[in-house]
Amino acid sequence: MEKTSSDSLPLTVNSSEKHETVCIFGTGDFGRSLGLKMLQCGYSIVFGSRNPHMSSLLPSDAEVLSYSEAAQKSDVIIITVHREHYDFLTELIEVLNGKILVDVSNNLKINQYPESNAEYLAQLVPGARVVKAFNTISAWALQSGALDASRQVFVCGNDSKAKQRVMDIVRTLGLTPLDQGSLMAAKEIENYPLQLFPLWKFPFYLSAVLCAFLFFYCVIREVIYPYVHEKKDSTFRMAISIPNRVFPIAALTLLALVYLPGVIAAILQLYRGTKYRRFPDWLDHWMLCRKQLGLIALGFAFLHVIYTLVIPIRYYVRWMSRNMTITQATTKKENPFSTSTAWLNDSYISLGILGFFLFVLLGITSLPSVSNTVNWREFRFVQSKLGYLTLILCTAHTLVYGGKRFLSPSILRWYLPSAYVIALIIPCTVLVSKFILILPCIDRTLTRIRQGWERNSKSSKSALNGKTDI
């Protein structure tokens, strides 16, 4: 039996891997790099080329033959040619029959062609077993070994044995194959390397608009207003003072926007009396980019912290402080110590520091490698419990910062309230709604809905199902 089992071992290549031959069509950068890497990993490589005698810079251990000669040497043929030049393959249809063709191509734009390159290849050579792979790997990374970006190789194909063969090659090269299913997934795989942070787009634009609005709001109140009323040049405030108002407000607002969709979803479920109806698309999308919103908020919070810590270094602040001291010394005015001011001042600083600390913790746990080591209960504990605590601390920080000035009308300039008042709108809304939602009576209904209960009786049997099933 030992012997038969070794004869029928199909997944691993031949008994001594060194002699398995793989054919590469095309001698461009990627073909050469891949060939070199495969040679290093023990494969024999034969290149197929239009002009086998003209090809330069190929690894010296590799054979270079014409396309049809090369194709006959191996079961696996990697096509490192641009899609526009696939036509030559139609002449090789007979040779390629039954072979595994690996499509590694990428396009220049998302959805450039109606069908994916791999599907197009499968149409051109109907007898071949086409597998999509390697398109997310860069030639330079293969060559230098500096696979910093990603070791993941998405693989898809209709023939599972062919796919398995390719995945074995991927593994042998020290990369991680990820089976993406049938060739229908090729389009998505081909679009993947062309994406530029798709989930970050909405949070980024939102925060850009928010910052621009806040910046102009503050410029009006703190630069234009003093200039109009007192002819004072405060333009220098645009370098530090105003950013240090914009950043904390943006941070707090974005942090509140992370928790707002959860509150809206709960209200929707309560209103509908069931969880068995899809949320609107905008809410789904919003929920999916909460992590990105939170990380951008953390970025703003970080900037706010540093902009605040440099305050005593600034020329303007030192000049002000010195002048105040001199004025007080010369006028001999008393300046008694106010314990309540000290309390208020120290409290809002302390609340801010603790809020920032928890925020940084949240950011660290959202690192992929950290979140991979925690289970769901731990992840939810951190992201929900600690997240709300962060929001509460940061909102309290802003409230105490406002202190008594909060509702004083003297703070209005051209009927515009202080910027931090704006910062409080969304966070307070979220916190008040959340507080109402966790009142026992409402929380109980919500929990029942989430366990499958439905308010209108018609579908109660399906609800019953839902309660016994997971």
- For the segment 393-432, give every residue that binds its own copies (CB under 8 A): none
Does residue 104 touch its own copies according to CB under 8 A? Answer: yes
Q: Which residue, 125, 128, 113, is CA-closest to 190?
A: 113
Does residue 149 touch its own copies according to CB under 8 A? Answer: yes
The residue among 276 and 414 lying less far from its own copies, judged by its C-beta, is 276
Residues 110-139 that bind its own copies (CB under 8 A): 136-139
CA 266 to chain centre: 25
Residues 30-49 that bind its own copies (CB under 8 A): 30-31, 40-42, 49
- Out of 80, 116, 390, 418, the residue judged to bind its own copies by CB under 8 A: 80
Query: Torsion angle, CA of 396/397/399/405, rounded to 10 degrees?
Result: 160
- Out of 209, 212, 288, 438, the residue judged to bind its own copies by CB under 8 A: 288
Does residue 326 touch its own copies according to CB under 8 A? Answer: yes
Going from the C-alpha of 256 to that of each of 21, 81, 273, 395, the distances in angstroms are 58, 49, 26, 9
Going from the C-alpha of 4 to that of each of 1, 316, 323, the distances in angstroms are 5, 86, 95
The residue among 49 and 253 lying less far from its own copies, judged by its C-beta, is 49
Going by their DSSP bridges, the two strands 44-48 and 63-65 should be labelled as: parallel
Q: How far is the CB of 335 from its own copies (least distance, A)?
A: 7
Stretch that binds its own copies, among 219-227, 348-356, 386-394, 425-433 (CB under 8 A): 348-356
Stretch that binds its own copies, among 25-33, 207-215, 219-227, 413-421 (CB under 8 A): 25-33
What are 58-63's contacts with CB under 8 Å, separation 24+? 58/27, 58/32, 59/32, 59/35, 62/35
Which stretch of DSSP H or E encloses residue 25?
strand 21-25
- Out of 108, 377, 404, 435, the residue judged to bind its own copies by CB under 8 A: 377
Does residue 169 touch its own copies according to CB under 8 A? Answer: no
Does residue 11 touch its own copies according to CB under 8 A? Answer: yes
Residues 171-200 that bind its own copies (CB under 8 A): 171-172, 174, 178-182, 192-197
Residues 328-347 that bind its own copies (CB under 8 A): 328-330, 332, 335, 337, 339, 341-343, 345-347
Q: How far is the CB of 222 from its own copies (least distance, A)?
A: 14
CA distance 97 to 119: 16
Does residue 68 touch its own copies according to CB under 8 A? Answer: no
Q: Which residue, 218, 286, 205, is CA-closest to 247?
A: 218
Q: How far is the CB of 328 from its own copies (least distance, A)?
A: 6
Going from the C-alpha of 359 to that of each of 114, 367, 368, 389, 401, the distances in angstroms are 45, 13, 16, 9, 19
Task: Give the tokens for residue 163.
Answer: 């796919």
Is the Cα dihedral 313, 316, 317, 320 positive or negative?
positive
Contact assessment for residue 64 and residue 47, using Cβ atoms and an 8 Å cutoff: yes
CA distance 168 to 133: 12
Q: How far is the CB of 291 from its own copies (least distance, A)?
A: 7
Q: How far is the CB of 6 from its own copies (least distance, A)?
A: 6
Q: Which residues contact 80 (CB under 8 A, 6 or more apart)?
A: 24, 25, 26, 28, 30, 31, 34, 104, 105
Does residue 107 touch its own copies according to CB under 8 A? Answer: no
The residue among 341 and 429 lying less far from its own copies, judged by its C-beta, is 341
Does residue 201 touch its own copies according to CB under 8 A? Answer: no
Q: Which residues contact 165 (CB under 8 A, 6 or more apart)?
A: 75, 76, 100, 131
Stretch that binds its own copies, among 205-213, 252-260, 352-360, 406-414 (CB under 8 A): 352-360
Q: How far is the CB of 153 from its own copies (least distance, A)?
A: 12
Q: How far is the CB of 374 from its own copies (least distance, A)?
A: 6
Does residue 457 touch its own copies according to CB under 8 A? Answer: no
Q: How far is the CB of 456 from its own copies (least distance, A)?
A: 13
Residues 213-232 that bind its own copies (CB under 8 A): none
CA 375 to chain centre: 20
